[in-house]
Chains A and B, each alone.
Chain A
Amino acid sequence: MRIGLFVTCLTDTLFPETGKAVVTVLERLGHQVEFPASQACCGQMHFNTGYRREAAAMVPGFARALGDYEAIVTPSASCAAMIREYYPVLAEPDPALAGAVAALVPRVHDLATFLVDVLGVDDVGARFPHRVTYHPTCHSLRMMHVGQAPYRLLRQVRGIDLVDLPDAATCCGFGGTFAVKNADVSAAMCTDKVAAVRQTGAEVLCAGDDSCLMHIGGALSRMRTGVRVMHLAQILAATSDTTAGASR
């Protein structure tokens, strides 16, 4: 399948290893991955902070850059949800754009559901001999409805010791600009998430979104917990040949 990678501005700028890992996994499965360099940001930060016009301005660029691919895959369920739920709303005033958006929206997938539900793959041939706990991010759970897909993928990883995260479905407190606008509440939520992670004794906290990982990872690092954060794609990309986890 010819897949367009929508890497997201955050992963592109700060967490390139996640993007590389997505390419590795999809190519390992025999697919052709392309990164159209004309892509930029999906506009979620602006949209969610109340800058609707600025967010709407991002829609045409996305449609031009990625509209033609058989599948559009992104390592952020949050950005995928932004496109699937709110691009149709933002494109509404422009019928031509609305048509283009309606046509591309069903082809936008986050990595986990793309692998499990579209490609029908659980085992991507990964090996990662570490104790890992998985945080299901809010938008992956409640907007993209990824359900069990990430767990199914992680359970097939060779050597992994996957442990349950207490209160897994509770938000980590990131919420985009919420983390800065309501910093005290956000930090209190993050503190509880960090406590849950530490309870598991995991070496690695895994999630399907670099933004939430940046948040929880920032607190794990500040508290000198020694727990590393890795995107789901990085664990799925790991094999016995790679130096597992040295990437972030």
Chain B
Amino acid sequence: MTTHAAPGLPAGPPPGSMPTYLGMPAFPDAARKAVADSQLRRNLTHATTAIRVKRAGVIDELGDFQELRAAAKAIKDHALAHLDTYLTRFEENVTRAGGHVHWARDAAEANAIVRRLVWQAGTDTAVKVKSMATQETGLNEALAEVGIRVTETDLAELIVQLGHDRPSHILVPAIHKNRSEIREIFRREMPGVPAGLTDDPPELAATARKHLRDRFLTATVGISGANFAIADTGSLVVVESEGNGRMCLTLPQTLISVVGIEKILPSWRDLEVFLALLPRSSTAERMNPYTTIWSGAAPGDGPQDVHVVLIDNGRTATLADRTGRQALRCIRCSACLNVCPVYERAGGHAYGSPYPGPIGAIISPQLRGAGSPVDASLPFASSLCGACYEVCPVAINIPEALVYLRSRSPKHRAERAAFSAAATVLGSPRLLAAAQRAATAGRRLIGRRGRIRRLPPPLSAWTDTRDAPQPPEESFRSWWARTRGQAASGDAAGSQPGGGRP
């Protein structure tokens, strides 16, 4: 990272990179609506607080979280630095094991490959395991356009799909809905739902299970992502809690997995570190209930027609950036979302991406470029409190990346002029002292009883809800000069190094 003028984020999103989210407003505008929605605020606070407390408990009991975290970071950094080697090794090993590897430059290419594979399987329906990569590519929508009907089988993802909604959390996509809202969606959208359905969670889960059972048993195509891709063995790994994944990954004849190229781990034994960190950081479980691992196709056992679609979609460009590339270490655990005070109040939809929260604020503008209003505003959607970095199991310094992306974000001309002028004043002791004298002179005009209740825009955004302090009778530097007897203002002392000392 240097202080030189950065080349700037790509101006526009590559065509079709995350098509579902085009036309989103800037983060502050979307967040304003969310903040005013008290039901949403209650749902989010309730859910994130519960998972936050649980996560802290199961992380603390590890005793070596910092060591695991350092190991995870080192493994990911190594894999990313040698991605060319490991990706081709992965391809060789998948192929040797009877699977097929496809390479997709962007979302549009990936969706076209999946569409072709579904057609080749001779069907127009598929069951799907929750997958971030296919959210990113807008696969469901792309398949629907050509008449292929995909059923999401993860409970929360199903709720989102039935509600014609968008996911608002990486791990818990329906976190913005409470159980009575979920009951309403089921009653409205699920054929044959019992008339007396209550909002009792076990009853809701049983209803979804019944709805899905027939689809599992008749589907001939399963679609998934993967949490990890092991180069040495050509294996894919899916970690889940509900067992729906296990069914999608084992029952259909054809299995298509869309996997980001950054998911590579060099070897089987690297899983030891990640399978310890991921469940604890995401669902706050010591171990997740279902871990499914497959390597190509096994004759007579499970899917016989096995495909892996490796997708770039902006990752290679992100990898080229010294500071930004750390975002590629992300294992999609959501710990940063659950501790983020901004996410808790703004909700996931305001981020305009399948990747919300702090990690989304650094991933989306890198994968898509800063051309849209929402992508340009995302690096600023943080108070830089650092809670995200503290919990990240792969030690992504999100505040550092945010501040870096801010430096590459387009700026309004008026703001640039104001910051340039401010830099001149704040960088000069002489001008700073002059500004302080002016503020003192004007204090009686603007303040009353020590506070200022109204300032002009853009500072009115502060005084809408908070008083501003009235400037004091004298600044610290004039007090020092007056009582400690050196130069009366900054300029005399400022002319020589170390000036102002006795």
Contacts and interface: CB of A to CB of B under 8 A. Distances in A.
Interface of A: 7, 9, 11-17, 19-20, 34-41, 43, 45-58, 61, 64-65, 67-68, 89-90, 92-93, 138-139, 141-143, 169-171, 173-191, 214-215, 217-219, 221-222
A41 B426 contact: yes
Contacts of A16: 472, 474-476, 479
A227 B495 CA distance: 43
Interface residues of B, number: 85
Contact of A92 (B2, B31, B409): B2
A38 B479 contact: no
Contacts of B467: 217-219, 221-222
B346, B416, B427, B461: which has the most chain A beta carbons within 10 Å?
A: B427
Given A14-B472, A171-B341, A35 B383 contact: no
B465 A38 contact: no
B384 A175 contact: yes
Contacts of A57: 423, 427
A49 B419 contact: yes
| Highest count of chain B CB atoms <10 Å: which of A181, A187, A188 | A188
B228 interface: no
Given A175-B382, A182-B381, A215 B28 contact: no
Nearest to B473: A16
B429 A38 contact: yes
Contacts of A54: 419-420, 423, 427
A102 to B, nearest CB: 16
B195 interface: no
Given A89-B1, A184-B32, A178 B380 contact: yes
Given A40-B428, A57-B427, A68-B498, A35 B35 contact: no
Interface stretch (B101-109, B215-223, B300-308, B386-394): B386-394
Contacts of A41: 426-427, 432
Contacts of B290: none
Nearest to B381: A182
B461 A180 contact: yes
Contacts of A93: 2-4
B346 A50 contact: no
A170 B110 CA distance: 41
A15 B439 CA distance: 13
A190 B2 contact: no
Given A53-B3, A138-B384, A14 B469 contact: yes
Contacts of A170: 341, 387
B500 A61 contact: no
